[in-house]
């Protein structure tokens, strides 16, 4: 069911500073910031030869990332995103096996313009999993 790793997401308290660190210190190509109001975040992507790193900061006080940063004020790994060929078939298979899909269970459009779902971290050893339609 799982395809390649699409990205690893890191929550940061200051997106501008984090993007500059990856760009200027590590020499990485970093995208322009993209606000995603439906997800409550602003993101940039660090482009790597084999995957991407998503840096995300809260977009407003009600953002789920704001709560994450309250517990982790310096930031930290937030989730890992895997590609799937058919997001609805993946959802149905996962829920049939007892996995919990966050939200209402329906895919939302993610930063890459493709449908995404998030799976409860308690079902995957403390790791929030994002699935993105390939």
Domain 2-133 class, CATH top level: alpha beta
| Catalytic one of 54, 57, 83, 130 | 130
Question: What's the whole-number mean pLDDT along residues 3-23?
Answer: 98
Domain ranges of the chain: 2-133
- Report pLDDT digits (tens) over 17-61: 999 999 999 999 999 999 999 999 999 999 999 999 999 999 998
pLDDT, tens digit, 9 for 90 and up, residues 60-98: 989 999 999 999 999 999 999 999 999 999 999 999 999
Q: Which residues of 44-79 are buried (b: 16+ CB within 10 A; e: fewer)?
A: bbbeeeeebbbbbbbbeeebbbbebbeeeeebeebb
Q: Is 130 a catalytic residue?
A: yes
Q: Is the pTM of this model over 0.75?
A: yes
The answer to whether the beta carbons of residues 14 and 57 sit under 8 Å apart is yes
Place of tokens 């799982």: 2
């Amino acid at each position: 069911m799982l395809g390649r790793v699409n990205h690893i997401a890191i929550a940061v308290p200051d997106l501008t500073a984090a993007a500059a660190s990856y760009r200027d210190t590590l020499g990485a190509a970093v995208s322009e910031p993209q606000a995603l109001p439906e997800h409550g975040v602003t993101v940039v992507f660090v482009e790597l030869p084999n995957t991407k790193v998503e840096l995300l900061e809260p977009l407003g006080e009600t953002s789920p990332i704001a709560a994450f940063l309250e517990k982790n004020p310096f930031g930290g790994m937030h989730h890992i995103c895997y590609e799937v060929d058919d997001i609805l078939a993946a959802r149905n298979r996962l829920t049939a096996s007892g996995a919990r899909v966050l939200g209402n269970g329906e895919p939302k459009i993610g930063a890459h313009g493709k449908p995404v779902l998030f799976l409860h971290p308690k079902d995957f050893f403390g790791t929030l999993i994002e699935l993105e339609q390939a």
